[in-house]
């Protein structure tokens, strides 16, 4: 089951987040105190791999606590929509004894009493009103057993190097710990579970005999201490091997030691072979060590389905190490969806802005989430401009990177253009149609007005102006004429018009793709119109920009596109389809494929 989107309501500072689309990796960006954590915690509490209990005092909205505390029916705080794969759909069809039933999606919600509710958006028709599909024996049980588990981790769980075992044993049985202490206890539990050690046994093995021991007691005590030493040495070796297979950025050796009632973790590596306490090593290593434990142990039984929720990951890492963290995330996301929070521009991948969601506080003081990263003025949030700063800064960093590394920058007008062209680049490379000597980087300029400023920055070092891809609409043509007469007067060949590669008048980047195929994807993207069977792909025409047709269709059908950010959301969906390599968007036999190849040859 794949998490498609989720919605948080009446949880702490969140009144209603609206539906938040989930990617394979999703980044929640925003300032401190914007409520990023309050967006992730409800997901954890929907189906936690461990811990994650509902706490009314902490989780209910503070301004409504007096209303909801004793309410007979407490509000729903989380809804999550999942897509079922073909195997799961077939198994559910067998359960309800209806092979033609297509149960492809399910919405799971949970209220503050801990009750679950299951809804099926494409529920098959019933034979009668009494034949309630969702009550069929086994259906909800199946969903419950296959629903992904959530593993949540924050920096609070980072372990100390020196652990006082009696206090650990005491804290493991307590339910009144604060957030920070509870997080450390949780990590300690995973540590002892992972290395297959019982903290009670480790403590008992190191217990000294009161009074004057006899020879038999001395021998027994020495034997137990030796066994404890062997156990810890064996656990250390096993942990070291598995950690280094998982984390490739260094070659670390971990050594677990026990001295009386103290349990210590020592770390060495090839650069610094002398053992040093974990707490004295970098906080970045402490984070990876502790996260590794929590992730592996809590997702052990649910590894295939576990969804990772990371609160400010890599916060203490060097900026270059934060960027390296993306490679680590990409590998993990092959088997696990991830959602993480950040306010660092180094933790925003400028090549995947479709993964970014902005979190900010609105005028009423409530947490709001938006996928539209250019909605500062329209949304009028208290800290919306600051919330999206990491994304803007990340784009700036990608520009500066092109000055430092051997890249071929191409300026495009918007984020949606970047998504389409990046996907097409990967497609052409995978099919062996292009083999660029330099990495092709598409840099959004924020519209035609930003072309001059961005080009000036990029050409400032070697005075070589980058190519620019410009839409064929009226603002694009106007800007192209201005650039030809002024800034690009000596480099007019680097001004590339989309209309040169499309038969559509006033073509935009979207019009480079086969219209009939793209229209089918758009039909799935748009909400189904009410009181009509007419779909977008039934009315699309070839000689008109497709984005204009989408807006006209939405207006005629009363469809809310959700603000200006709809183009980016559509581009993200199309990009995913292109990267799947299914030919649902474009294939080599399409006439548009040759035109796109011709366009990319202009970039080199």
Within a domain: 251: yes
Residue closest to 4 by CA, chosen among 17, 26, 23, 18: 23
Sorted by sequence, the CB contacts under 8 Å of residue 165 that are 6+ apart come out as 199, 202, 203, 206, 258, 261, 262, 263
Residues 559 and 497 grouped into a single domain: yes
Within a domain: 399: no
Q: DSSP class of residue 465? A: P
Write down the pLDDT at residue 127: 47
For the segment 33-54, the average pLDDT, to the nearest whole number, is 90
Write down the pLDDT at residue 509: 96
From first CA to last CA, the distance across the chain in angstroms is 42
Q: Where are the beta strands (DSSP E) in 331-370?
A: 338-342, 356-361, 367-370
Q: How far apart are CA 546 and CA 520, in angstroms?
A: 12
Residues 175 and 238 grouped into a single domain: yes
For the segment 47-57, the average pLDDT, to the nearest whole number, is 88
Q: Where are the beta strands (DSSP E) in 446-572?
A: 468-470, 495-497
C-beta separation of 122 from 103 below 8 A: yes
Write down the pLDDT at residue 131: 45
Q: Which two tokens stand for residue 318?
A: 């060097």
User: 120 by DSSP, 3-state: which?
Assistant: coil
pLDDT digits (tens, 9 = 90+) for 391-426: 555 555 555 555 445 678 899 998 899 999 999 999
Sorted by sequence, the CB contacts under 8 Å of residue 277 that are 6+ apart come out as 161, 162, 264, 265, 266, 267
Write down the pLDDT at residue 219: 83
In a 13 Å sphere around the CA of 396, the CA atoms on its Cβ side amount to 9
Residues 375 and 464 grouped into a single domain: no
C-beta separation of 298 from 153 below 8 A: no
* Residue ending a domain, choose from 360, 389, 418: 389
Q: Is the pLDDT score of 477 beyond 70?
A: yes
Residues 26 and 135 grouped into a single domain: yes
Q: What angle do CA 320, 322, 324 make, to 5 degrees?
A: 70
Residues 375 and 327 grouped into a single domain: yes
* Residue ending a domain, choose from 283, 298, 313: 298
Write down the pLDDT at residue 499: 95
- Any idea which residue has 């201490």 for tokens? 225
Write down the pLDDT at residue 94: 83
Scanning 30-176, the segments in alpha helix (DSSP H) are 36-46, 56-59, 65-68, 86-95, 139-146, 165-172
Within a domain: 395: no
Residues 448 and 567 grouped into a single domain: yes
Highest mean pLDDT: which of 191-195, 425-429, 438-442, 460-464?
Answer: 425-429
Write down the pLDDT at residue 130: 43
Residues 338 and 445 grouped into a single domain: no
Highest mean pLDDT: which of 182-196, 290-304, 377-391, 483-497?
Answer: 483-497
Q: How many helices (H) and strands (E) does the chain have?
A: 22, 20
Q: How far apart are CA 569 and CA 20, in angstroms?
A: 11
Q: What is the pTM of this model?
A: 0.66
Q: Is the pLDDT score of 9 beyond 70?
A: yes
Residues 293 and 354 grouped into a single domain: no
For the segment 42-70, the average pLDDT, to the nearest whole number, is 90
Within a domain: 394: no
Tell me the CA distances in angstroms from 537 to 76, 522, 585, one per residue in order.
Answer: 37, 8, 13
Percent of the chain past pLDDT 90, that is, above it, reads 31
Reduced to 3 DSSP states, what percent helix, strand and coil does the chain have, rounded to the nearest 5? 45, 15, 35
Residues 192 and 226 grouped into a single domain: yes
Write down the pLDDT at residue 404: 46
Q: How far apart are CA 528 and CA 327, in angstroms?
A: 38
Q: How far apart are CA 501 and CA 479, in angstroms?
A: 18
Q: How far apart are CA 593 and CA 598, in angstroms?
A: 9
Q: Is the pLDDT score of 126 beyond 50?
A: no
What's the domain count of the chain? 3
Within a domain: 339: yes
Residue closest to 534 by CA, chosen among 545, 526, 544, 542: 526
Neighbour-count burial of 532, counting CB atoms closer than 10 A to its CB (0-12 exposed, 13-18 middle, 19+ buried):
exposed
Within a domain: 397: no
552 pLDDT tier (thresholds 50, 70, 90): very high
Residue closest to 443 by CA, chosen among 468, 464, 425: 468
Q: How far apart are CA 446 and CA 449, in angstroms?
A: 7
pLDDT digits (tens, 9 = 90+) for 63-116: 898 899 888 899 999 999 999 988 888 888 888 776 555 788 999 999 999 999
The answer to which of 117-131, 505-519, 531-545 has the lowest mean pLDDT is 117-131
Write down the pLDDT at residue 249: 65
User: 231 by DSSP, 3-state: which?
Assistant: helix
The phi, psi pair for 34, rounded to 5°, reads: -80, -20
For the segment 533-560, the average pLDDT, to the nearest whole number, is 90
Residues 135 and 180 grouped into a single domain: no
- The rounded mean pLDDT for the chain is 82
Within a domain: 275: yes
- Long-range CB contacts (within 8 A, 24+) of 532-535: 532/557
Q: Which two tokens stand for residue 365?
A: 């003081």
pLDDT digits (tens, 9 = 90+) for 143-193: 988 899 998 888 666 666 567 778 877 877 777 777 677 777 777 777 787
Q: Which residues pair with 262 in a beta bridge?
A: 164, 259
Tell me the CA distances in angstroms from 39 to 7, 10, 114, 173, 306, one per residue in order.
Answer: 9, 11, 18, 29, 18
Residues 363 and 413 grouped into a single domain: no
- Any idea which residue has 């559910």 for tokens? 92
Cα 581 versus chain centre, distance: 22
User: 398 by DSSP, 3-state: which?
Assistant: helix
453 pLDDT tier (thresholds 50, 70, 90): confident
**Domain extent at residue 470:** 406-604
Q: How far apart are CA 497 and CA 484, in angstroms?
A: 12
pLDDT digits (tens, 9 = 90+) for 537-549: 889 999 999 999 9
Tell me, what CATH number does 337's domain have? 3.40.50
The answer to which of 62-66, 546-550, 558-562, 574-578 has the lowest mean pLDDT is 558-562
The answer to which of 184-198, 258-272, 496-510 has the lowest mean pLDDT is 184-198
Q: Is the pLDDT score of 460 beyond 70?
A: no
Neighbour-count burial of 455, counting CB atoms closer than 10 A to its CB (0-12 exposed, 13-18 middle, 19+ buried):
buried
Percent of the chain past pLDDT 70, that is, above it, reads 83
Q: Is the pLDDT score of 301 beyond 70?
A: no
* Residue ending a domain, choose from 298, 332, 365: 298
Residues 491 and 354 grouped into a single domain: no
In a 13 Å sphere around the CA of 6, the CA atoms on its Cβ side amount to 25
Q: Which two tokens stand for residue 66?
A: 């007096």
Q: How far apart are CA 6 and CA 26, in angstroms?
A: 12
Q: How far apart are CA 74 and CA 11, in angstroms?
A: 12
Sorted by sequence, the CB contacts under 8 Å of residue 283 that are 6+ apart come out as 158, 316
Write down the pLDDT at residue 186: 76
Write down the pLDDT at residue 423: 93
Write down the pLDDT at residue 597: 95
Within a domain: 400: no
């Amino acid at each position: 089951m794949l998490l498609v989107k989720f919605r948080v309501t009446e949880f702490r500072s969140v009144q209603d987040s609206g539906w938040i689309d989930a990617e394979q990796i999703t980044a929640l960006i925003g300032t401190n105190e914007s409520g990023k954590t309050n967006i992730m915690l409800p997901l954890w509490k929907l189906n936690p791999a461990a811990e994650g209990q509902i706490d009314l005092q902490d989780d209910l909205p503070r301004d409504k606590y007096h209303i909801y505390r004793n309410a007979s029916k407490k509000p729903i705080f989380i809804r999550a929509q999942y897509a079922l794969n073909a195997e799961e759909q077939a198994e559910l069809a067998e359960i309800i004894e209806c092979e033609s039933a297509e149960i492809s999606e399910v919405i799971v919600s949970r209220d503050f009493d801990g009750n679950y509710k299951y809804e099926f958006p494409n529920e098959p028709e019933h034979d009668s009103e009494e034949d309630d599909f969702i009550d069929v024996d086994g259906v909800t049980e199946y969903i419950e057993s296959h629903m992904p588990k959530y593993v949540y981790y924050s920096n609070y769980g980072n372990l100390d190097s020196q652990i006082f075992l009696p206090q650990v044993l005491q804290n493991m049985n307590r339910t009144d710990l604060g957030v920070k202490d509870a997080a450390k206890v949780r990590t300690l539990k995973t540590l002892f579970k992972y290395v297959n050690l019982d903290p009670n046994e480790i403590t008992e093995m190191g217990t000294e005999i009161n009074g004057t021991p006899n020879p038999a007691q001395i021998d027994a005590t020495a034997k137990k201490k030796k066994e404890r030493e062997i156990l810890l040495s064996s656990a250390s070796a096993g942990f070291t091997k598995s950690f280094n297979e998982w984390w490739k950025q260094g070659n670390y050796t971990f050594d677990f030691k026990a001295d009386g009632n103290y349990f210590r973790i020592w770390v060495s590596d090839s650069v610094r072979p002398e053992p040093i306490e974990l707490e004295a090593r970098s906080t970045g290593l402490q984070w990876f060590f502790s996260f590794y434990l929590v992730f592996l142990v809590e997702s052990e039984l649910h590894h295939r389905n576990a969804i990772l929720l990371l609160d400010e990951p890599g916060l203490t890492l060097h900026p270059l190490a934060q960027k390296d963290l993306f490679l680590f995330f990409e590998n993990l996301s092959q088997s696990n969806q991830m959602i993480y929070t950040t306010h660092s521009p180094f933790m925003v991948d400028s090549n995947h802005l479709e993964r970014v969601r902005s979190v900010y506080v609105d005028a009423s003081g409530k947490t709001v989430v938006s996928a539209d990263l250019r909605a500062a003025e329209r949304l009028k949030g208290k800290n919306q401009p600051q919330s999206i700063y990491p994304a803007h800064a990340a784009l700036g960093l990608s520009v500066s990177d092109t000055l430092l590394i051997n890249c071929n920058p191409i300026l495009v007008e918007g984020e949606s253009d970047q998504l389409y062209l990046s996907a097409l680049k990967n497609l052409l490379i995978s099919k062996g149609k292009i083999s660029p000597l330099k990495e092709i980087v598409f840099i959004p300029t924020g519209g035609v007005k930003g072309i001059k400023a961005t080009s000036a920055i990029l050409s400032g070092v070697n005075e070589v102006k980058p190519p620019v891809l410009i839409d064929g609409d009226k603002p694009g043509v106007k800007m192209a004429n201005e650039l030809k007469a002024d800034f690009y007067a000596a480099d007019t060949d680097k001004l590339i018009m989309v209309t040169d590669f499309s038969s559509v008048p006033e073509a935009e980047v979207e019009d480079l793709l086969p219209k009939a195929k793209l229209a089918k994807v758009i039909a799935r993207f748009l909400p189904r119109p009410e009181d009509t069977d007419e779909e977008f792909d039934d009315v699309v025409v070839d000689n008109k920009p497709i984005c204009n047709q989408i807006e006209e269709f939405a207006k005629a059908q009363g469809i809310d596109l959700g603000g200006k950010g709809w183009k980016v959301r559509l581009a993200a969906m199309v990009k995913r389809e292109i990267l799947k390599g299914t030919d649902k968007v474009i294939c080599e036999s399409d006439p548009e494929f040759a035109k796109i190849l011709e366009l990319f040859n202009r970039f080199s």
